[in-house]
Amino acid sequence: MPHSDAPSMTTPLKNVVGGRTAARLAKASLLTVADLLRHYPRRYTERGKLTDLAALRVGEAATVWARIDRIETRSLGRSGRTGRPRHLTKIVVTDGNRRLECALFNQPWLGTRLQRGMEALVSGTVSEFRGTLQMSSPELATADGSIGDVDGTLDVLESFAGGIIPVYPQTAGLTSGLLQRTVKQVLAVLGPIADPVPDTLLAARGLTDLDTALRNAHRPGGRKLLEQAQERLRYDEALALQLVLARRRALARAFPTEPCPRIDGGYLAAFDAALPFTLTEGQRSVGEEIAADLATIHPMNRLLQGEVGSGKTVVALRAMLQVIDAGRQAALLAPTEVLAIQHARSLRSVLGPLGGGGELGAPPDAITVALLTGSTAPAERRRLLTDIASGQPMILVGTHALLSEDVLLPNLGLAVIDEQHRFGVEQRDALRSKDSGANPPHLLVMTATPIPRTVAMTVYGDLDVSPLTELPVGRAGVATTVVPAADKPAWLERAWARVREEVAAGRQAYVVCPRIGDDDVPGSGDAADDGAHEDDPGGDPDDDLFGDREGSPGGGDADGAAGEGPRTRRPPLAVLDVAEHLRGGPLAGLRLAVLHGRMALGEKDGVMRGFASGEIDVLVSTTVIEVGVDVANASVMIIMDADRFGMSQLHQLRGRVGRGGAPGVCLLVTEVPGAGPGRARLDAVAATADGFELAEADLALRREGDVLGASQAGRASSLRLLSLQRDRELIGVARTDATELVGDDPTMAAYPGLAAMADAIVDADGQDYLQKG
């Protein structure tokens, strides 16, 4: 029984388990009792209940409870180095459905002592060969204790009263056996664990107390008690995350800004009156939300997410005009020079005479739409910086150049960030923190990458979210098809024929490749300015542990398994190489041009102007055309090595076609086989044109389990149990609770324990990421 001087959650582990064990735990950043008890088991094995082998993942360290199905031992001759005999024992275990093959070397006695039907614990790293799961040189222990000991696991099996055995993540050299014994030792002396969540809230949510939850998470008294413990601990993580975000929202409300209400007879009213098209219901509705935000003293923090081609830019422009009517400046940050140029040109075009400020013949009160990029000439840059620093109302469009220290925005009323996922959190924070006097600017971030609702409630939880799902009238849509080039080369020939047919009909085409070519590094994607991504899953390992299968190279080895090793993939296809091939082959005679991030700005702009004017039939490009490029006459896109792109990126790319009256066609060319995650992603993209549905499919295929995952700054999250898919309802409940608990007090003075819990579960790096993001 714990005494009055018993350890607490803040006690250093070295004071409880001794220096040697504490030093091992410290390698995994487990320094205190709380660190250890928040290091939850990855999964559980139930004595007498076989592990579901289908749940194992290739490459993970795993411990499974299974039944022995087959044992065979064969000689591998004598070692050339020592002359000793070598043996390979192959043990096949099963859960009744799938098999796991284990290779153990130089332990021939296992063949006589193990029997078919015995149950055993097997611990090792999972691999796969031709659909069969394998482990090479795993630790093995029989359930009756007659053979082996998986790092002391069998020493504590009988002490799990509920028959449920925790299996911990095997990181930093820490095995399940070591963690089981250490947790048992700590819990035996630990005093009562204080619960920071109010009793009334626990009762309302039907949750168990923290002390009971932590003890049953590590040493379950039964399946029901384990489920209750996991539910409570998932709630703690969801609540901690939402508390961070609620405190962020409360803090933002504490720093007022200058309101920018709508006015009669201003630029916005003139723009609306001259619009040659009717806004969609979604554009009007979201516009009203934004207008209401801008009219208050609280800085707007809103995420505008919309389908490709849903008209986000018009919504943002109307917000910028409202701010300019109030005498303030507006800035639009774009991820690439190509997109920044497109935005500036599009804004001037849509505004018409209203947007000709500074040009000859423009009305004296016309709005200046300025463009600032890394390629802006020095003299032009100096003139722009002077105009910007004067505080005169204007729209400033730019790239990362807007974030330079010498760019001062003393009258910034609205910052619009396009394709926000293409910027790091520090870059977004830098624009929001630009010198704007005592009044912080309103913030509108936009994305054409639909975000699942649970992601919006977590990573973007301090932002109000406005979705745009309705496409403008006249959009013909896009049909997407996977082209398995390796299995059906005739399909690729037909794809090029389709391009020729579209061009003959007076339309245009894109061909997209993962990299540029020439001296770039294979797989490196486009130049950094283009923000290109590559989502290359790589080849599947093709490793036969036993060397005795058809097609294997044969010849086992006493010290390791024989096999083919991983298959190597060819380098990704490159723009320059593909363009040369097409000019002399399938698309000979058509007017081809290339576009990529290494080209000079003027050259890129010239190519885009030529394509927009119809002087170019086929544009062979990297992902520089992923967002913002609007050529209504383009009707077909062929994406080479499509499996090397992410799902959201493919959705963005195909949004470049079908923007006019002609139906769009997107062909996803791949050489990956029909089975596997790469092909599954492509099939999902081809199955739906709904970006929000695709976002949910992407989440499912990635088996997202950690709501922060690896953040954009490369940090690992301390959230361990919360799942975006499984815990959608729980996250929503926690958001409601957090909002009520925080109220208007970001310090949470009334709930210091909850504030401490939030700090403990969502560490400083995670909070910094959320607050800047």
pLDDT digits (tens, 9 = 90+) for 126-138: 998 888 899 998 8
Measured distance CA(363)–CA(358) in Å, rounded: 9
Across all residues in the chain, what is the average pLDDT? Answer: 82
User: What pLDDT score was predicted for residue 360?
Assistant: 72
Using 50, 70 and 90 to split pLDDT, how confident is the model at 50?
Answer: confident
Using 50, 70 and 90 to split pLDDT, how confident is the model at 554?
Answer: very low
pLDDT at 454 over 70: no
As a whole number, mean pLDDT of residues 253-269 equals 90
For residues 126-165, one letter each, b for 16 or more C-beta atoms within 10 angstroms of the residue's C-beta and e for the rest, the string is bbbbeeebbbbbbbbbbbeeebbebbebbebbeebebbbb
Instruction: Give Cα 669 to chain centroid, integer Å.
Output: 24
pLDDT in tens, 364-400: 888 999 999 988 899 999 999 999 999 899 999 998 8
- 677 contacts: CB under 8 Å, gap ≥ 6: 537, 701
Please name the helix (run of DSSP H) or strand (run of DSSP E) that holds residue 648, with its range, or none: helix 647-654
pLDDT at 424 over 60: no
Please name the helix (run of DSSP H) or strand (run of DSSP E) that holds residue 443, with its range, or none: strand 442-447
pLDDT in tens, 138-166: 888 776 666 765 555 544 455 565 678 88
The distance between the two most distant Cα atoms of the chain, rounded to a whole number of Å, is 97
Measured distance CA(201)–CA(68) in Å, rounded: 48
Report the sign of the C-alpha dihedral through residues 144, 145, 148, 150, in that order: positive
As a whole number, mean pLDDT of residues 69-81 equals 89
Q: Are 37 and 214 in contact (CB under 8 A)?
A: yes
For the ranges 323-332, 416-425, 488-497, the lowest mean pLDDT is seen at 416-425
C-alpha distances in Å from residue 371, one per residue of 339, 422, 625: 11, 19, 19
Measured distance CA(168)–CA(557) in Å, rounded: 31
User: What pLDDT score was predicted for residue 465?
Assistant: 84
Which backbone phi and psi does 134 adopt, to 5 degrees? -140, 160
**C-alpha neighbours within 13 Å on the C-beta side of residue 122:** 32
- 556 contacts: CB under 8 Å, gap ≥ 6: 76, 88, 546, 547, 548, 562
User: What pLDDT score was predicted for residue 557?
Assistant: 34
Q: Report the 10 Å Cβ neighbour count for 734.
A: 26
**735: helix, strand or coil:** helix
For the whole model, what pTM was predicted? 0.70
Would you put residue 237 in left (φ > 0), alpha (ψ -120 to 50) or beta? alpha
pLDDT at 712 over 50: no
Greatest mean pLDDT range, 52-61, 573-582, 711-720 = 573-582
- Nearest-CA neighbor of 770 among 304, 459, 447? 459
- Nearest-CA neighbor of 612 among 460, 715, 510? 510
Measured distance CA(373)–CA(338) in Å, rounded: 10
Q: Report the 10 Å Cβ neighbour count for 286.
A: 24
